[in-house]
Amino acid sequence: MSHGGKNRVIRRALEVIRSFFSTMSMAHRQQVVELTTLEMRELENMFVLLLMGSFTGLPAPPSFISVELMPYLEHELKVVNRRAENSSDALAEMAGFFDVT
Amino acid sequence: MKTIFFTGKGGVGKSTLAATLAWQLSQAGNNVLAVSFDPAHNLGDIFGKRLSHRKKRITDTLYLQEADLDKAAGTYIEENIGILTQIYSYTRAFNLDVYFKVLRHSPGVEEYAAVTTMEQIFREERTFDYIVFDTPPTGLALRILALPNITITWVDRLRRIRRQILEKRYTIHNISGKYIEKGVRLPFEEKEDPVMQRLEILFKRYMNLYKMLKGAENTIAVVFNPDYLSLRESQRIVTGLSDLQLPLRVAFDNKFTPEQQEVACEVEQQLFPGTDHVDVVRVPMHGYAREGAYQMSFDLTKHFVP
């Protein structure tokens, strides 16, 4: 094998190794992001539940706090709605979240 | 600026004493604002003036105001309905937006209106030397005084959860650069998040109010009569105030006559057994409550002027 040929093989091998590690790190990162997102969803859900507790029969803060924050809570309300819709099937919710089909 | 709250059962003479004190302080050369939160609004009657939500000049040093809680509640609700209707503007198509008006009758709105008005007065009327508040009857007064504390607790907890949410969003953003969800960019910094901003404003506002209420510049006075009915209710006020850790400093045994000496002693003893930080003052019966009752010869100012 010529000298140049050897170099090409080494370079190729390095690329493979690099892409292996970068894929691994990407996978790890994605896992972390997914877990954090799940945690965040639950927090958002709790935040709105606490704030709007009177709708579900929980003790609620003074109603004016809810009223003052309501206009900004569109996203959180969507999260709560989705949680409520899927609450009877937590496994499906989880599977859906991790894109398991 | 010093603030004085008059609390007590209905009919014991809160408004009369508040009016008298305001008058005497203003006659001594202080700038005084007297505000009535009592829906019965006796303050105007005592001075023989028609008062409104805006302060009215009586003399160069005395201003009077009647806080209109209905109106304040109305304004607050209108503002928020405005925001809600803007956001849920599609409800207009079905004429459903009128239903938001039902919020006006939700519990706690009156207290909220009172606290907001009080906070506004504290913030805006700093030029006065004294602000004298005539409070509504016991139950509502205690709820109003408790509200800042309750609100602070709630807002603080909500703030902590919100901060955690934002931290999570920040982490996600940092790792993957992905903070756009279904085309919506979610704020992840405290300064960008309108919910956090709103919570911060509420927290600051109520913290200031709470500090004012608890501070050395504030005095809460309880008014009672030398009889047993007023004793029971005054006991509830004293306990309520101590639960809220608010400074009760002066107690007025109002409408005192020498014949009631025995009852008065017993009532005072039961109300303040062995407390020395409350100044108990007997105010003699000074004729019937009527217009002009504020011009009483009994000097109240010495209990409030350092």
Token output for B97 = 């937006």
A37-62 pLDDT per residue, tens: 888 888 888 888 888 777 677 777 77
Q: Which residue has the higher pLDDT, B8 or B289?
A: B8
Q: What pLDDT does B299 receive?
A: 84
Q: What pLDDT does B114 receive?
A: 83
Rounded to the nearest 5°, which phi and psi values hold at B82? -55, -50
Confidence of residue A82 (pLDDT cuts 50, 70, 90): confident
Q: How far is CA A46 from the centre of its chain?
A: 16
CB spacing of B202 vs A37 below 8 angstroms: no
CB spacing of A63 vs B157 below 8 angstroms: no
Q: Given A36, A43, A62, which is nearest B112 (Cβ)?
A: A62
How many angstroms separate the Cα of B186 from the Cα of each of A34, A46, A76, B178?
16, 17, 10, 10
Residues in chain A with CB shorter than 8 Å from the CB of B150 are 62
CB spacing of A62 vs B150 below 8 angstroms: yes
Q: What pLDDT does A93 receive?
A: 66
Q: What is the mean pLDDT of residues B123-152?
A: 87
Q: Does the pLDDT value for residue B290 go beyond 70?
A: no
Q: Scanning every residue of chain A, which has its alpha carbon at the shortest distance from the alpha carbon of B174?
A: A33
Q: What pLDDT does B51 receive?
A: 85
Q: Scanning every residue of chain B, which has its alpha carbon at the shortest distance from the alpha carbon of A39?
A: B168
Closest CA of chain A from B207, distance in Å: 15
Residue A36 belongs to domain spanning? 3-97
What's this model's pTM, rounded to 2 decimal places?
0.76
Q: What pLDDT does A70 receive?
A: 80
- Domains of chain B, start order: 2-303 (3.40.50.300)
Helix (H) or strand (E) holding A91: helix A90-97
Residues in chain A with CB shorter than 8 Å from the CB of B83 are 71
Q: What pLDDT does A97 receive?
A: 63
CB spacing of A72 vs B195 below 8 angstroms: yes
Number of cross-chain residue pairs from A and B with Cβ atoms under 8 Å apart: 76
Q: Does the pLDDT value for residue B88 go beyond 70?
A: no
CB spacing of A64 vs B109 below 8 angstroms: yes
Percent of chain A whose predicted confidence (pLDDT) is above 90: 12
Residues of B with CB under 8 A from a CB of A: 76, 80, 83-84, 87, 103, 106-109, 112, 147, 150-151, 154-155, 157-158, 161-162, 164-165, 168-169, 171-172, 175-176, 178, 181, 184, 186, 194-195, 198-199, 202
Q: What pLDDT does B32 receive?
A: 94
Report which residue type is found at B245.
Q
In sequence order, what are the beta bridge partners of B64? B34, B56
CB spacing of B168 vs A50 below 8 angstroms: no
Q: What is the mean pLDDT of residues B91-108?
A: 66
Q: Scanning every residue of chain B, which has its alpha carbon at the shortest distance from the alpha carbon of A29?
A: B175
Please count the structural domains in chain A: 1
How many angstroms separate the Cα of B237 from the Cα of each of B39, B143, B244, B245, B252?
19, 11, 10, 12, 13
Closest CA of chain A from B199, distance in Å: 8
Q: Does the pLDDT value for residue B104 go beyond 90?
A: no
Q: Scanning every residue of chain B, which has its alpha carbon at the shortest distance from the alpha carbon of A25?
A: B175
Judge whether A60 is closer than 8 Å to chain B, CB to CB. no
CB spacing of B198 vs A43 below 8 angstroms: no
Q: What pLDDT does B92 receive?
A: 64
Q: Given B154, B161, B176, which is nearest A43 (Cβ)?
A: B161
Q: Given A33, A39, A72, which is nearest B194 (Cβ)?
A: A72
Q: Is A52 exposed, middle or buried (0-12, 13-18, 19+ CB in 10 A)?
A: buried
Q: Does the pLDDT value for residue B303 go beyond 90?
A: no
Q: What pLDDT does B101 receive?
A: 64
B158-210 pLDDT per residue, tens: 999 999 999 998 888 888 765 566 666 788 888 888 889 989 988 998 898 89
Closest CA of chain A from B27, distance in Å: 40
Q: Does the pLDDT value for residue B130 go beyond 90?
A: yes
Residue B168, number of CB atoms within 10 A of its CB = 21
Q: What pLDDT does A101 receive?
A: 58
Q: What is the mean pLDDT of residues B38-54?
A: 83
Q: Is B217 exposed, middle or buried (0-12, 13-18, 19+ CB in 10 A)?
A: middle
Q: What is the mean pLDDT of residues A10-29?
A: 90
Q: What pLDDT does A89 receive?
A: 72
Q: What is the mean pLDDT of residues B138-166?
A: 89
Confidence of residue B288 (pLDDT cuts 50, 70, 90): low
User: What's the CA gap between B271 and B5, in Å, rounded?
Assistant: 19
Q: What pLDDT does B179 receive?
A: 58
Q: Give the least confident one: A35-49, A65-79, B61-75, B102-116.
A: B102-116
Q: Scanning every residue of chain A, which has its alpha carbon at the shortest distance from the alpha carbon of B76?
A: A64
Q: What pLDDT does A40 receive?
A: 86
Q: Does the pLDDT value for residue A64 go beyond 80?
A: no
Residues in chain A with CB shorter than 8 Å from the CB of B173 are none
